[in-house]
Structure 1
Amino acid sequence: MKKKLLAILITACMLFALMPITAGAAAEALVIKLAIGSPTLSVNGSTSAIQKPFKLNGTTMVPLSVITKAFGAGLKLENNKIITLSYNSTKVVLTIGSKIVKVNGAPVTLTAEPKIVNGVTMVPLRVIVSAFGAKLTLSGNQITINGVKANASGTSTGSNTGGINSDAGKTKVGDSYYGWTMNYPSDLVLSYQSDNGSATQWASAQDDRRVSVFVDDVDQAYTREELRDHIIGYFAEDEFAVEKKTLTLGDLSVERIISKERNGWYFDNRAVQVGNRIYFFAVGVKADSRDKLDAYQDLLNSFKPSFAANDVSLKDITKVKDGYMTAIDKDYGLSVALPVDWHRDTEAATPTFQSEEGFLSFEVSSLSAGDTAQAWLKRIHEDLQEEFQPEYLRNINESTIVLADGIAQVLSFEYTLDKKNWKKVHDVLLVAGSHKYEINYYSWNEDASAGDALYRKIVGSINIDTNYIEKNFSELEDSEELEKLTVQKTSKKYGYSIKLPQSWKSDQKDFEKEDILYSIPYGIFEINILTDFSASDYASSAQQFYSTDADMVKLGAQLRTNTTATLGNGLSAKKIVVDFTKSDSPQTGVYYVIEKDGFTYVLSYVIMQASDTEINRSKLEEVINSFAFKN
């Protein structure tokens, strides 16, 4: 449990881990140049045209494509407003119209929000560049960014839920919760439906024709131009409009944009707003001419933002009942009832769901001989108290909850990262057959009684197909045993070795490169090799950097010590300790700087002060002290 809890909470450390004179692990070096008010972007000397960057409330705003194309970042768009950027192990989540940006789950408040300008999504530059570990330099209106290309881009996945056109007597389809109806797309099958049903798509067997209906709730009336921007928000990168107009269909005023992708798809896109709800509905065909869209005009024209429950010809495909939806993960044999505003993290390897009210995760592991849920609970309870400073925990208690598959043990507690804001956690442990099931429920609800009631309703609805798990999941070792084991890593190029816990993993783990980065349960660990700074130069620059750099001042960086230390193997090192007192989760960074044969080796870790316990620090210091040069 401690690993999942702290992994979710400590990721703010990623923003502050690097000293300014270290470089990122270079897959492909990037030099990006652009300027406020200029339509020209240069990436490694290659220029292209972009919408002009501008400043808003002191924040530099750039087109989203600058980030995705230049850095190779993965992109996912949810509900036409939630943008998730994936860059190696880093995730940055932005929301159109919100000043809150989350970097690996840690919230950062900006002075300006992402927005759509002339059909182009403009996003704040510095917070994203910093999260990607790149360096941003300003000279007047000129902006230079030095960074590296992502190792891989994010992808998106869908699911196939089968056809719906086999229902005899049904000529219409609709959603009673979202309140819409249209004629049956009888030549297509339902190829995707989101957990709450707000996104629905039909496709042909050859996937050369598609019909989509997306529903978005907004907080105000949109102008015609804003509705058109809403449509454009669904465009692919290479998609462009060939027609824009307003249609009058009965008493409805509908915005329409016909668009084309360069890969041969044409789309008839439409949007209508009723109250605070926007309905986007579209037809796409892969064809040489837009004339192929004509066959679907009757279907599109039949769309109505209403649902007649007494119409026997109408099939209701809603997934919502009494404000709840049933989310199903067939791969894990899991079903759970969730409020309609919760959403699934489609990029998570295990079932994960979240909303503004809470967070739910689900994991399966093997049951060791003789182990029990009660013994498991005891271990987690002991680990929790060892891994958190006492003043950051309160109201720890043990209980049980009845699930469809048995009685589960529960460890509940409240935690804080800043001694101001407290959150509640329920760690639910179930043993069934030869497997252990761990359900972590995090409550963000400020109303404690409402949060507990929601927890009981959601977790109490969980149903696990344990027979499916027994047949398809075999030995799944959890991290408890791995934490006791180590592995020796070596670098031939830089001539060193170091022992790391077997439970650690990283996307930057090539020890023949200059930079190593591990995100660990209670912080991060790094190794950086420098060729242009001596150990003494590095140490002497620390005081000035932390006291004068604007970002460090904002974080309340305080240089606690700048001394010398002797590692366990007798190596002499400069030791720098820095506290970040004003970050959302106060942290401490510890840097050991060693010089040998023209290289400067920086071994560092950043740890949340909430988890800066003797046991956690001793684990990290043990890793540091295992560092040795090869003879």
Structure 2
Amino acid sequence: MGNWKVWMKKGGITLLAAFVLGVVAQPVSSHAYAAEVNAEIPQVIEKASPSVVAIIGKPSSEMDKSLETNRFNLAHGTGVIVASNGVIVTNAHVVKNMKNIVVVTSDGTTYRGHASNIDEESDLALVKIDATGLKPATFASSSDIKVGETVAAIGTPISFALRNSVTVGIVSGLDRSVSSQYQLIQTDAAINPGNSGGALINMKGEVIGINTMKYADLGVENLGFAIPVDTVKYVLKNFELYGKVKRAYLGLELEESWEAVVGLPSSTGLRVSYVDADSPAAEAGIEQDEILVSVGNSAVKTLVDYNEAIKTYLPGQSVDIKLQSGAATITKTVKLGELASKEVTLTGDNEGGTSIDADSGKTKIGDSHFGWSMKYPAGLVKRQQSDDGDSISFIDAKGEFALAIHVDDDQSDDLSPSALLNKLAGDDSSNYSSGGTTILERQYVKRAESPYAKVVSRSGEEGYVQTRGYVHGGRLYTVQLFVTKEQYTNHSKQNIYNDLLDSFKLSFNNADGSLKDISVFNSDDVTYTSEYGLSIDLPAEWQQDHGGSTSFYNDDYSQAVHVNVTSASSGDTLQNWIDRETGKFEAQYTADYRRVDKPVELTVAGVPAWKVSYASSLGDEWEAGSSLFFIKDKYKYEVQMTYPQADQGEELEKAWDKMVASISVNKETMDGELGFIQDLDEITDPDQTTLYKNEKFNYTLRIPEQWTSIRSYDGSDPVSKSFNFTGGYLRVDTDSKKAYADMVKDAEDGQKTNHNNDSDYKYTSEDVTLFGDVKAKKYTVSYTKKHIPYTETVYLFTRKQINYTVTLRIDDAVGTDANVARLNKAFTSFTFVNGTGGK
């Protein structure tokens, strides 16, 4: 059976979801044959290994720049030499985001390299190094590859120190369609992280494929995949002729049969699910729901079949497409267009420095903002750092020790030595202590430059912690070193650790080129870039919403910036859009509780834009905001800043102008998978309703779709159900235990008590008939609660031993005719499950 599993591309770590099909086990080779093959393997490896290289570099990430600055954060993979002058083929996922590429040949020679061509669809790329006289690999023919033949994988698994490692297995299967646009070779030769881009060779020493991924799951072993040699040759030829892979374009979206999806042999072709307008397929008359049977002479039943067939044609060529249209089989000739290549920005050769070591030449480390520095051993690796840098921890690359530095800004300089020692001895903020601490040493060390308190303690059975505390400039600096018992009792190691701790200084020399600054404190604006191509600068202290949305907030969440992106519908204009949004706002509040200023025309990101300022209140504090509207590259962008109206002033206006001036839209940085994003305000009807049914308490209601309601945790029909909108709600409370007369008496007593306690609380009561024949009690309340005036109508009635209390509340601020009508209509839709009720 098929199961959703995880596919791991080897090299730069990439996870892909794929549908796994059952694989038939291959016959086991005879002992005699195995012995013969084993005798050949060393000679084969000796022949092929010089053509395989190891590739290492720094990973690049726009989302997390710390990946590039950590000297131990490296990515590696493998490559195969295809030309003696230094042309190497590897996987695209290995080098796509790799900086400062270094290539090491099998004899240990090191070269600087750069990615020259990348094709993500095939997952192949070229790396160029400045070399001559290299040994190119010999490529086999795909037609010669046989299931069951012995193969070897050469690569750089797990660690760069293991480059040119060899694993041996067999070809387990051919024409596998897993997580790839093209067919793959399956092998049981062990493929591990770092093998990506390496050679899969036969027993002639010929390359039959480029290793690309393995299947990773508990209990699964030796299930790897390689790109077949004919696909490699196809891509290399396109690189040579055009600098990219030219792919033919029909303009079809195709859908596989159910059998093909789950891996069963399919008897049908591919259904045409969509035909692009003005595409070659449309011009040839291909229509939706026709079944594509073959491309040229190649039958196609899966998407991989289709891709394999179409790759044999170039843009501009014509091909016969056989289709099943109803009961008829027809052939249509299509003149192929060219598929737009996905743009890939090649990483600069020397971005972030010329060395693969991000910290080359740095022998000291420190924080310029908090003013400290110390020695920087080659094996020191940053583990964690707080957002503003006041807390940071390190580990040793060999796992021998851990180091933590914490800076407390709120500390008096006149802390006495004894108080400082007590503070350190009782300090439970250690990242490493595990309780049960025994103090082994405690002293105040006097030295001219920076005296400190020192506490050495044993934590648990194996842990030893040395803590040093320094008071300087209103700050307490705490430095902690953790080592195991084995390291603690090693005197030479102790000398090394003490030397590291002794190097800690309460100063930072900006002129020292050997000193690495790890400060993350930033008082400048930070640029946020979205997948919609929009960039905007906001103050450094602002934080993005934790849900990953395009909303940003200041420290106390009183001010916010929201970014909303939708597609511009055909015929829509900037003026129509603004009128629609303004009308929606004005329809939500009554005139006394809202304000909309006249739009101001601007230019943003090189296109016309309008600024609309507004404010609203429910009766207490006023909330204000400004929205910026513009349309660019078929998308509508709204950038909205909201804030308390009391914050308005020159300072806020300057912040707005600065933010607007920073806005830019770059089409090249847009997510390539973006499609049409409907603006819901264009199609939303505020009067559209949906049916709510409470079977336990025998009633239904038709509620406006835009109202909100919280579902019960267990999914049961609740005793109390509330439907909410801005400034109001409709709530239904039910009771099947109390007598109806008692419920009415309690309600009457409650209303009287509220009025007696506060004369501003006014109510009227009357007996009414609901839904034609249901006797009810009605209370109408008007009151101002916490400066928010509202009107509340309460209905009490009973039916079949179930008592109902329905409360309709609406604040005066949103008491427009439309909102009041919507609320009343929702109530009059009340219907008992057996059919009695409102209309």
TM norm. shorter chain > 0.5: yes
Query: Alpha-carbon deviation of 1:215?
Result: 6.5
1:170–1:354: structure 2 CA closer, same or farther, 3 Å change rule? same
1:450 pairs with one of 651, 660, 677: 651
Aligned counterpart, 2:362: 170
1:563–1:246: structure 2 CA closer, same or farther, 3 Å change rule? farther
SS of residue paired to 2:639: strand
Q: Does 1:425 align with 2:331?
A: no
Aligned counterpart, 2:821: 618
Query: Alpha-carbon deviation of 1:595?
Result: 2.7
For these two proteins, the number of residue pairs brought into alignment is: 466
Query: Alpha-carbon deviation of 1:622?
Result: 2.5
Question: Could you tell me how far apart the structure 2 residues matched to 1:415 and 1:378 are?
Answer: 18
Q: Is the 8 A contact 2:438 2:459 kept in 1?
A: no
1:268–1:219: structure 2 CA closer, same or farther, 3 Å change rule? closer
Q: Which moved more, 1:490-499 or 1:242-251?
A: 242-251
Counterparts of residues 515-554 of structure 1 (less than 5 Å): 515-533=720-738, 537-542=742-747, 545=750
Q: Which moved more, 1:275-284 or 1:323-332?
A: 275-284
1:601–1:175: structure 2 CA closer, same or farther, 3 Å change rule? farther
Q: Does 1:251 align with 2:450?
A: yes
Aligned counterpart, 2:784: 581
Q: Does 1:403 align with 2:604?
A: yes
Counterparts of residues 46-445 of structure 1 (less than 5 Å): 161-162=66-67, 163-165=69-71, 166-177=358-369, 179-181=371-373, 184=376, 187=379, 242=437, 251=450, 306-318=507-519, 323-328=523-528, 335-347=535-547, 349-356=549-556, 358-394=559-595, 396-404=597-605, 406-418=607-619, 421-444=621-644
Letter of the 1:487 counterpart: T
Query: Alpha-carbon deviation of 1:276?
Result: 6.3
Scaled by the length of structure 1, the TM-score of the pair is 0.58
Aligned counterpart, 1:498: 701
Question: Could you tell me how far apart the structure 2 residues matched to 1:256 and 1:590 are?
Answer: 70
Cα RMSD (Å) of the superposition?
Answer: 5.2
Question: Could you tell me how far apart the structure 1 residues matched to 2:701 and 2:497 are?
Answer: 64
1:315–1:178: structure 2 CA closer, same or farther, 3 Å change rule? same
Query: Alpha-carbon deviation of 1:342?
Result: 2.6
Q: Deviations over 1:370-420 (max 9, x none)?
A: 22232111112122222122222346231144433644322102334436x
Question: Could you tell me how far apart the structure 1 residues matched to 2:774 and 2:499 are?
Answer: 78
Q: Is the 8 A contact 1:403 1:462 kept in 2?
A: yes
Q: Is the 8 A contact 1:259 1:269 kept in 2?
A: no
Scaled by the length of structure 2, the TM-score of the pair is 0.45
Letter of the 1:389 counterpart: T
Q: Is the 8 A contact 1:161 1:190 kept in 2?
A: no
Question: Could you tell me how far apart the structure 1 residues matched to 2:456 and 2:730 are?
Answer: 50
Q: Is the 8 A contact 2:723 2:730 kept in 1?
A: yes
SS of residue paired to 1:473: coil
1:260–1:371: structure 2 CA closer, same or farther, 3 Å change rule? farther
Query: Alpha-carbon deviation of 1:312?
Result: 1.4
Q: Deviations over 1:116-142 (max 9, x none)?
A: xxxxxxxxxxxxxxxxxxxxxxxxxxx
Q: Is the 8 A contact 2:618 2:727 kept in 1?
A: no
Q: Is the 8 A contact 2:425 2:455 kept in 1?
A: no
Question: Could you tell me how far apart the structure 2 residues matched to 1:176 and 1:558 are?
Answer: 62
Q: Is the 8 A contact 1:490 1:511 kept in 2?
A: no
Q: Is the 8 A contact 2:430 2:480 kept in 1?
A: no
Q: Does 1:487 align with 2:690?
A: yes
Q: Is the 8 A contact 2:424 2:467 kept in 1?
A: no
1:571–1:159: structure 2 CA closer, same or farther, 3 Å change rule? farther
1:582–1:475: structure 2 CA closer, same or farther, 3 Å change rule? same
Q: Is the 8 A contact 2:551 2:560 kept in 1?
A: no
Query: Alpha-carbon deviation of 1:456?
Result: 1.5
Question: Could you tell me how far apart the structure 1 residues matched to 2:779 and 2:607 are?
Answer: 52
1:501–1:553: structure 2 CA closer, same or farther, 3 Å change rule? same
Question: Could you tell me how far apart the structure 2 residues matched to 1:173 and 1:352 are?
Answer: 33
Q: Which moved more, 1:606-615 or 1:246-255?
A: 246-255
Q: Deviations over 1:206-225 (max 9, x none)?
A: 99998776777669899879
Aligned counterpart, 2:336: none
Q: Is the 8 A contact 1:402 1:460 kept in 2?
A: no
Aligned counterpart, 2:830: 627
SS of residue paired to 2:803: strand
Question: Could you tell me how far apart the structure 2 residues matched to 1:360 and 1:534 are?
Answer: 53
1:437–1:517: structure 2 CA closer, same or farther, 3 Å change rule? farther
Q: Is the 8 A contact 1:214 1:281 kept in 2?
A: yes
Letter of the 2:735 counterpart: L
Aligned counterpart, 1:513: 718
Q: Is the 8 A contact 2:450 2:505 kept in 1?
A: no
Query: Alpha-carbon deviation of 1:233?
Result: 8.0
1:170–1:477: structure 2 CA closer, same or farther, 3 Å change rule? same
Question: Could you tell me how far apart the structure 2 residues matched to 1:301 and 1:524 are?
Answer: 66
Question: Could you tell me how far apart the structure 2 residues matched to 1:504 and 1:207 are?
Answer: 56
User: Could you tell me the percent identity over the aligned residues?
Assistant: 23
Q: Is the 8 A contact 2:464 2:488 kept in 1?
A: no
SS of residue paired to 1:379: helix
Q: Is the 8 A contact 2:400 2:487 kept in 1?
A: no
Letter of the 1:512 counterpart: D
- Structure 1 unmatched ranges of 5 or more: 1-157
Question: Could you tell me how far apart the structure 2 residues matched to 1:463 and 1:338 are?
Answer: 13
SS of residue paired to 1:581: strand
Q: Is the 8 A contact 2:728 2:809 kept in 1?
A: yes
1:482–1:312: structure 2 CA closer, same or farther, 3 Å change rule? same
Question: Could you tell me how far apart the structure 1 residues matched to 2:381 and 2:481 are?
Answer: 14
Question: Could you tell me how far apart the structure 2 residues matched to 1:586 and 1:228 are?
Answer: 56
Query: Alpha-carbon deviation of 1:518?
Result: 4.6
Question: Could you tell me how far apart the structure 2 residues matched to 1:391 and 1:230 are?
Answer: 60
Query: Alpha-carbon deviation of 1:278?
Result: 6.7
Question: Could you tell me how far apart the structure 2 residues matched to 1:168 and 1:604 are?
Answer: 71
Question: Could you tell me how far apart the structure 1 residues matched to 2:543 and 2:648 are?
Answer: 21
Letter of the 1:446 counterpart: D
Query: Alpha-carbon deviation of 1:442?
Result: 1.6
Question: Could you tell me how far apart the structure 2 residues matched to 1:228 and 1:595 are?
Answer: 69
Q: Deviations over 1:395-454 (max 9, x none)?
A: 6231144433644322102334436x4443101223223332222202346351211111
- Structure 2 unmatched ranges of 5 or more: 1-62, 72-357, 835-839
Q: Is the 8 A contact 2:526 2:540 kept in 1?
A: no
Q: Is the 8 A contact 1:176 1:307 kept in 2?
A: yes
Report which of the two structures shows the higher radius of gyration computed on alpha carbons. 2
1:335–1:582: structure 2 CA closer, same or farther, 3 Å change rule? same
